[in-house]
Amino acid sequence: MPERRTVALVTLGCARNEVDSEELAGRLEADGWQLVEDAEDADVAVVNTCGFVEAAKKDSVDALLEANDLKGHGKTQAVVAVGCMAERYGKELAEALPEADGVLGFDDYSDISSRLQTILSGGSVEAHTPRDRRKLLPISPAERQGAGAGIALPGHAPVEAPEPPKDLPEGVAPASGPRAPLRRRLGSNPVASVKLASGCDRRCSFCAIPSFRGSFISRRPSDVLGETRWLAEQGVKEVMLVSENNTSYGKDLGDIRLLETLLPELAAVDGIERVRVSYLQPAEMRPGLIDVLTSTEKVAPYFDLSFQHSAPGVLRAMRRFGDTDRFLELLETIRSKAPQAGVRSNFIVGFPGETEGDVAELERFLTGARLDAIGVFGYSDEEGTEAATYDGKLPQDVVDERLAHIARLAEDLTSQRAEERLGETVEVLVESLDEDEGPLGRAAHQAPETDGQIRLTGATGGDGLLVGRMVVAKVVGTEGVDLVAECLEEAGR
């Protein structure tokens, strides 16, 4: 019997990429490939790249080069780029990075196995040719559902999907229904992301994502529910709903309030302990959505709000809406309903035309907002965006200075916010058992990887805490944005 081909998936970027990697893993394993964790143990290393900002693109190139260095020193014979950077640049990336044996776009995902086999056999696969994916679906959201035949939408069930293969390997399934994309979990973390939608209809002047992720299109509620049930069967305790803009969910299905009805159904899935929603647009927040997020059992009162700035002039130049006072009013509304609600956001400083007064206005907002987690980025031109054509570009040293200043402020403010949580009682999902630090997990106000964690103390009884358990704990200390909490009891649901 011939030895099975081996493949390793190296994932960079956001949670949406993680979902895409698990879809690729499901397709490959169903077609006979053996998945291995380390690139050095694989015949083919597939790098799922990020194409969002310069730092992320550099990380993607570094990962490709690192995987390429394994060739000739171990088992690795080929390195292939997929993901957003490969989709966005295609042939340009292939020419600039000849070390990659293949550059595949989203259109190649459905046939990923044969593409990799061709490359592994010494053949060549034509590098992906980029195109503006916003033009692939109808302009009207109401006309998009059912119009995607022949259009690759990672994470979505194809319009004309074939029956799934027979006798799928254990752990591989059409996660959201009989004709849905295959998915195979990579790892055993009790947290998993579920794609709620893909693409974006907003036209923020600094962002290129819609051009390579396409127009906004929702997944059907039955698909989201089906995938959540499957993940619960795999041992997942927390699901995080991801897309480029979750507040738009349902608009192409004829119901902009669809998320408000879907969340309680997801929370009721047997085995799921927490549902978290990410990527919310402040300008699209509805009273009904705030009510559901702050009052539904097992739905985390968590608000990942994309503010980006708070000075009106900068926001208008970004083609966004709002200002400091409106944003603070939104936060006040949220906390009046759920005082312990978690809020995080990202901000861009040094945008073209930004004045010192604009920076002071941003400082005013940050100081009053009491955010749990803050990401700060210095502006840089993104190819193909409107902002790249703007006058009023700031010198790089000014951008760097403002970035450093706001980043220091953000660090101080998030540490202060953590200290405000001293004495709070929180429900913590145990995610790992560190040999030195003991049990580590997250409370409802902390999303995976971005918002800090909680170190648990005082676990008693039996063999102590297990990964995947939900425990009640009291916050007794802080370590920057991280918290220390004393276990009180296991959450009784």
Residues annotated within a binding site for [4Fe-4S] cluster: 14, 50, 84, 200, 204, 207
Q: Which residues are annotated as a binding site?
A: 14, 50, 84, 200, 204, 207
Q: How many CA atoms lie less than 13 Å away from 79 in the CB half-sphere? A: 26
Q: Which residue has the tokens 């997929």?
A: 82
The dihedral through the CA atoms of 340, 345, 350, 351 has a sign that is negative
φ and ψ at 174, to 5 degrees? -75, 90
Q: Is 52 exposed, middle or buried (0-12, 13-18, 19+ CB in 10 A)?
A: buried
Other residues' Cβ atoms within 10 Å of the Cβ of residue 408: 11
Other residues' Cβ atoms within 10 Å of the Cβ of residue 299: 19
DSSP state of 256: T
Of 378, 374, 366, residue with least CA distance to 346: 374
Question: Percentages helix, strand, coil for the chain, rounded to the nearest 5?
Answer: 35, 20, 45
**Pairing, β 197-198 against β 217-218:** antiparallel
DSSP state of 117: H
Rg of the chain over Cα atoms, rounded to whole angstroms, equals 23
Of 291, 206, 303, 297, residue with least CA distance to 246: 303
Query: Which residues are bridge partners to 377 per DSSP?
Result: 348
Residue 307 in contact with residue 327, Cβ under 8 Å?
yes
Question: Can you tell me the distance from the alpha carbon of 67 to that of 76, in angstroms, rounded to the nearest whole number?
Answer: 8
